[in-house]
Structure 1
Amino acid sequence: MAKSFFGASHPLFNTLGVEVEEICGGKAVMTICHQKFLTGRNGSMHRGVIVTLLDTNCGLAIFSKLGDMRAIATIDLRVDFIAEAVSGDSVSSEVECYAIKNDIAYVRGRAINNRDDRLLATVSGSFAVGTLGPGFDSSMQ
């Protein structure tokens, strides 16, 4: 269910060209291909696109750790940019949900330039689990 929700059937991700590569045991990998409309003035992928990719992948990693898709909400999200994406290259996001304690999920991960595996950004954050927001499904399939 999660792969189809976050994959091509999701209108935003379909437009952005996001591909879900892996979901397993609290870890998730997503890739976004370079498209001209996703670039900043310098021709590299816009940082806002990378933040969106990382934030969404944090949610997917949490769902994978929980085993279901209950509502979550971002408490804190930190993204540190290390380098710019190379113009024309795709970017992957690798995120791990490494702990859930007292309805708080903790994540960490990175964005990398796919052509040369160069680190572009790191992410860390915490999310409230079981919030009053919308749930997506009762199980991860």
Structure 2
Amino acid sequence: MPGGGRKFQKGQSGNPAGRTKGTRNRTTIALEALLEGEAEAITRKAVELAKNGDTVALRLCLERLIPVRKDRPIRFALPPIETAADLTKATSALLVAVATGDITPSEAAEFGRLVDAHVKAVEAADFAERLAALEARTGGA
């Protein structure tokens, strides 16, 4: 091979044995060894700094006590979606939920994407069913 480099097969690892699952990073292991036995003292110091007005320490403590919620359950009445025609009922329910403040516009947008994916799945299943019926009538020709 020109340049002395190796050429690997596409889709095949250059190191099939690789790192075994669950193997920990050397840096993580070293840091844990450094902090061994000190976690309680460090935690107490962070709390002490937070109590004394250190806003960074306060934020750190609060983030550990009450992590930022990434998602929340959304509860509202969504009409069943069995055909693509039911999509307007579902989007109307989403609009009403936003208008009444039950969900945020961004939550409605995310939910709308889920509804859209469901409609596409319904359409695909309907198409497959119609195709199978057509093939059965024509003898699969």
Bigger relative contact order, structure 1 or 2, given CA contacts below 8 A and separation 6+? 1
TM-score (ref. length: structure 1): 0.27
Structure of larger gyration radius: 2
Q: Which is strand-richer, 1 or 2?
A: 1
Structure number with the higher helix fraction is 2
